[in-house]
Amino acid sequence: MQVTSETIAEMAELLQCGFVVYIHKKTGHLLSLPENHDPVDVGEGVWEEEIALLKKHAKHYQEIEKWTSSQAFQIMADFAEQEVSDQPLRQKLIFALNNRKPFQGFKEVINNAGNYRQLWFDFQKKRQIAYVKAQLDDLFEMEE
């Protein structure tokens, strides 16, 4: 089965927004649920249909994993080293990554980095799409 680039981008965005994403192994149908889909938190019955469908057909769906904290850290480091030509900014980002609360520190620096902020979002999105695509390639290679 072929998954469109639009579907891959949608999956990447859902993962980035904190959703758990599943894909039907034969049809490519997407199911997504909030990471913590406790009915008390999200409202009674809001995700009821998706949960029921997933429970009923669990063996036909494959979860698409979000990246780990160490992978996210590496992506931030790659961005700082590969994409930031402004030396003082690069040093601030690397300093943030090498101190307590590296994710928070990186975010604070990048949010005040002018045009580099959007470059970071674009870089992160591109990496997330590649990460999802790699999982799908592995999944459908195994299915054949």
pLDDT tens string 84-136? 999 999 999 999 999 999 999 999 999 999 999 999 999 999 999 999 999 99
The region of weakest confidence among 54-63, 101-110, 135-144 is 135-144
Give Cβ neighbours of residue 21 (< 8 Å, ≥ 6 apart): 11, 14, 15, 30, 31, 32, 63, 64
Q: How far apart are CA 120 and CA 75, in angstroms?
A: 10
Residue type, 22: Y
pLDDT of residue 2 exceeding 80: no
pLDDT tens digit sequence for 3-37: 889 999 999 999 999 999 999 998 888 999 888 75
Cβ atoms of 15 and 128 closer than 8 Å: yes
Give the pTM: 0.83
Q: How far apart are CA 121 and CA 132, in angstroms?
A: 16
Mean per-residue pLDDT over the chain, rounded: 89
Name the DSSP class of 34: E
